[in-house]
Amino acid sequence: MLSYGIWPNKFTYPFVLKACAGIGELKLGQTVHGSVVKLGFDDDSHVLNTMVHMYCCCDGGVEYGRKVFDEMRNWDSVGWSAMIGGYVRWGLSSEAVGLFREMQVVGVEPDEVTMVCLLSACIDLGALELGKWLEAYIERENVPKSAVLWNALIDMFAKCGDVDKALSLFRSMSQRNIVSWTSVIDGMAMHGRGTEAVSLFEEMKKDGVVPDDVSFIGLLTACSHSALVEQGKGYFYSMTKEFGISPKIEHYGCMVDLLCRAGHVQEALDFVQRMPIKPNPVIWRTLINACRAHGELTIGEKITKELIKYEPMHDSNYVMLSNIYAKMFSWEKKTMIREVMAKKGMRKVPGSTMIELYNEIYEFVSGDKSHSEYKIIHQMVDDIGKEIRKAGFVASTSEVLLDIDEEDKEGAVNRHSEKLAIAFALMKTPPGTPIRIVKNLRVCEDCHSATKFISKTYKREILVRDRNRFHRFIDGVCSCKDFW
């Protein structure tokens, strides 16, 4: 364009900036930013809004986006949404919510898109109360409810723990699209309500909505988490036969997960051998975990060693190998792994748990001593430990984190972030109040068992969202039926 002697105008730049956003290279974006300034289009709201968006799509660009945002006056809701959405994109959801509060102080009316971004932030934070507040706001202020906003609400309710509300919203929708169906099916899957997920999928087909590859991921996950092995296999083959959808690596991953969870480890290994796509590390890790869980320790060790050769800097590969050695009682090998990791300067991602109480979000990290009530919380954890042991709880220590000294194993699992969060909730809420927490990793065996005892001893319903799914603990029983 420039070589033809044609100069871009202010209408051109939003397109160029959007293209930069798609590429996501910060340097390229900065070059274009430079040319916007040079040509004097940096006073145009459309250009600047897209600029914020562009920066927020680049790795390491959020700060630059914020700088552009801070330097401009009189932002409209589009600019605020671009910045709020940018925070959410990079997992900075607390910042997103904080910026929304500023937006309200300044008096800019949020619109539909702002709401969709904020609902994503709620999902990330597990903030159901905030999500309910947003829903009420949408109703009160008559924010137009497009299909996208409806779908975002359904997804928020499902992922923040109230899947029945998600379902009733879904039922009250007049125009459901594939995203609405997938969100609600996936919600059922996460809550271990596999049979209902399958019925919804069948209802969707009857309704004339053609399933796509994403909806099959939700459906297969549902089968996997509810041990519907044969149905899952049937649906997997129907993808190609009935709908002409070639399974992607994720679908193969779901199948491996389905077989592994049901304990069919050998069948899963055969399945992987026969797959037409090269298995990815996620699939190998699924197999390795199944090998550990079902006692195929030698095969698990072999696969893990191969995976480490391929992915030498991935921390969880070492953690898995260490867990296999723990199960083999090979303590020297386990120690060796720890030394290898230390030498490479690697550390396991620390477990963290969030809890929303009285409009505040608290985050607990295992071993963190920064909380102002740290001593009282730890005292509470000890008291809970005593109470549940009286009720018959026995601590299991085989899954203890790698970077913890052997002699303090039980002490270490006792400091897992979910125990801290639950103790905090027991201290801060009246008897009988349900407790909802969100964990960044999968819940460990010890915490799962302890939480069952806590729900019974303290007469609390405890809802835990982990990386994979929900666990609802009531009177000593978990909704996952110990199957996760």
Partner DNA sequence: TTAGGGTTAG
Q: Per-residue x/- marks for DNA, 176-205, CB under 7 A? A: -xxx--xx--x-------------------
Among 99, 134, 152, 198, binds DNA (CB under 7 A): 152
Dist CA 72 CA 139 (whole Å) = 31
Q: By CB under 7 A, which span of 73-81, 94-102, 230-238, 314-322 interacts with DNA? A: 73-81
Among 39, 173, 214, 336, binds DNA (CB under 7 A): 214
Nearest to DNA of 67, 389 (CB atom): 67
Tokens 């401009």 — which residue?
Answer: 72
Q: By CB under 7 A, which span of 3-11, 62-70, 441-449, 457-465 interacts with DNA? A: 3-11
Among 112, 267, 387, 461, binds DNA (CB under 7 A): 112
Nearest to DNA of 289, 414 (CB atom): 289
Q: For residue 130, what is the DSSP state?
A: H
Q: Cα 348–354–358 angle (5° rounding)? A: 165
Q: Cα 145–470–129 angle (5° rounding)? A: 45
Dist CA 20 CA 22 (whole Å) = 5
Nearest to DNA of 13, 271 (CB atom): 13
| Smallest distance from DNA to CB 270, Å | 22
Q: Are 52 and 81 in contact (CB under 8 A)?
A: no
Q: Are 425 and 437 in contact (CB under 8 A)?
A: yes
Dist CA 388 CA 225 (whole Å) = 28
Q: By CB under 7 A, which span of 47-55, 131-139, 199-207, 366-374 interacts with DNA? A: 47-55
Dist CA 24 CA 131 (whole Å) = 30
Nearest to DNA of 54, 435 (CB atom): 54
Nearest to DNA of 189, 412 (CB atom): 189
Nearest to DNA of 221, 322 (CB atom): 221
- Compute CA distances 31 → 12, 25, 55, 316, 340, whole Å: 15, 10, 12, 38, 43
* Residue 418 binds DNA (CB under 7 A): no
Among 125, 198, 217, 400, binds DNA (CB under 7 A): 217
Q: Are 155 and 122 in contact (CB under 8 A)?
A: no
Q: Are 56 and 86 in contact (CB under 8 A)?
A: yes
| Smallest distance from DNA to CB 448, Å | 21
Residues with Cβ within 8 Å of 104's Cβ and at least 6 positions away in sequence, in order, are 110
Among the listed residues 414, 402, 451, 455, the one whose alpha carbon sits nearest the alpha carbon of residue 432:
455
Among 82, 128, 255, 423, binds DNA (CB under 7 A): 82
Query: Where along the sequence are the contacts to DNA (CB under 7 A)?
Result: 9-11, 14-15, 18, 21, 44-47, 49-50, 53, 76-82, 85, 89, 111-114, 116-117, 120, 146-149, 151-152, 155, 177-179, 182-183, 186, 212-215, 217-218, 221, 250, 253, 282
